[in-house]
């Protein structure tokens, strides 16, 4: 079975990715599985730039293909913030709760009809040097004015996907993974892998 290394230390993300990819001809392994401690500074100004940088740097420490991703929440009423800075919106060492709290504060006077937003995930599949392949997933929705739900992570308690009346954090993992931005990006990758077995 072929192996692919996930370039992340985020346990929530690893679980979600494995659920999305499901059983296949590939074994998804993590940095900890290889006893690798790699912290990549995400200092690019686009999701694509960060995903490629993570994949490249991790690839240098391994001998197998690497998967790296970056995700941002883009809120229309505040000019696309927090965007590429989503994970550190409230500061470099911000917690999920810190980021959500800041977003709610920034949007406290934004009316319901203008609280539209979208999540975007970029996945970089790095199989050989200087050959990144990019896959994208987008999920549109709106920002709640209160925390709702206790599942998921990140901005999930605030994001209500289009066509639903509940946040990601109120959904089961299966329900969320059927419609999420990350799911769409990794399903595009999965389709590519299944048709390019070598």
Q: Which residues are catalytic?
A: 70
E strand residue ranges, the chain: 2-6, 26-30, 66-75, 82-83, 116-126, 132-143, 159-161
Token readout for 62 is 């391994």
DSSP reduced 3-state for 58: helix
DSSP string, 171-194: S-HHHHHHH-HHHHHHHHHHHHHH
Q: What is the largest CA-CA distance in the chain?
A: 54
Residues 64 and 28: their CA atoms lie apart, in Å, by: 11
Rounded to whole angstroms, how far apart are CA atoms 20 and 180?
10
Tokens read off for 21: 């990819």
Helix ranges, 23-147 (H): 47-59, 96-106
Structure tokens at 183: 């799911």
Place of tokens 């940095």: 31
């Amino acid at each position: 079975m072929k192996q692919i290394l996930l370039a992340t230390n985020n346990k929530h993300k690893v679980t979600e990715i494995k659920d999305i990819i499901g059983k296949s001809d590939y074994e998804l392994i993590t940095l900890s599985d290889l006893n690798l401690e790699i912290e990549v500074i995400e200092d690019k100004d686009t999701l694509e730039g960060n995903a490629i940088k993570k994949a490249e740097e991790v690839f240098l420490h391994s001998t197998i293909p690497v998967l790296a991703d970056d995700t941002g929440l883009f809120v229309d009423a505040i000019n696309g913030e927090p965007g590429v800075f989503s994970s550190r919106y409230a500061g470099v060492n911000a917690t999920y709760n810190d980021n959500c709290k800041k977003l709610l504060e920034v949007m406290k006077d934004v009316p319901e009809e203008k609280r539209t937003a979208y999540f975007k995930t970029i996945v970089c599949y790095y199989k050989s040097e200087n050959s990144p392949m990019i896959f994208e997933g987008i999920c549109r929705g709106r920002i709640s004015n209160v925390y709702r739900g206790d599942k998921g992570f990140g901005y999930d308690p605030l994001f209500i996907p289009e066509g639903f009346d509940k946040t990601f954090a109120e959904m089961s993992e299966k329900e969320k993974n059927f419609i999420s931005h990350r799911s769409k990006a990794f399903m595009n990758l999965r389709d590519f892998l299944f048709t390019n077995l070598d």
